[in-house]
Amino acid sequence: MNPLKKKIEQCGVLLGGDVLKVDSFLNHQLDIPLIETIGECLANHFKNAGITKVVTIETGGIAPAYATARRLGVPVIFLKKSEPRTMRQPLCVQVFSFTKQKSYNVCMESGLIEPDERVLFIDDFLANGEAFKGAESLIHQAGAHIAGVGICIEKRFQAGHQYVVGRGYDFCAVASIAAIENGTIHWAQ
């Protein structure tokens, strides 16, 4: 079993329904060796994709995006969940958060991603795919191409997986959940 799946089984907490809490090791407190292993896994998958930038959304995706980008030797851009006053030419899009059950703007400074760059999107979770759709919109507004999508934990039973693979993107999930039933996680093959 891969280290992320093992850690989820040991320390992840199911909060009823299909909400998985992993903040003791992935998106609040960080298990550094685990984050490094995730970065290595994702970088190995995308090493021949010609990636020029890694993009994520603050904050849960920053650590795995950094660990991946460090190995690929490229910069990381994290999309902000609000528009800072310091942005001179922001690109913004509205996104609905599955976890927070609310909408918010996702923004980045125009020019950080150049036209025709090959971008790798990394995030901690893929559920319904709304965060990815927002990032996809901003990346396309910048004129760049999405060369891959790397996710730490995907809930394959929700709409995000089908959206990403249906668009033809090279996709890699480190831990893929097929179903959550009666308080038990069933892993996808």
What is the spatial distance between Cα 41 and Cα 174, in angstroms, rounded to a whole number? 7
pTM (predicted TM-score): 0.95
Strands 102-109 and 76-79: unpaired
* 174 φ/ψ angles, rounded to the nearest 5 degrees: -70, -40
Count of Cβ atoms closer than 10 Å to residue 181 Cβ:
10
Q: What is the pLDDT along the chain (189 residues), one digit of tens a residue?
A: 699 999 999 999 999 778 899 999 998 999 999 999 999 999 999 999 999 999 999 889 999 999 999 999 999 999 998 777 888 888 999 988 766 788 889 999 999 999 999 999 999 999 999 999 999 999 999 999 999 999 999 999 999 999 999 999 999 999 999 999 988 999 998
Determine the CATH number of domain 3-187.
3.40.50.2020
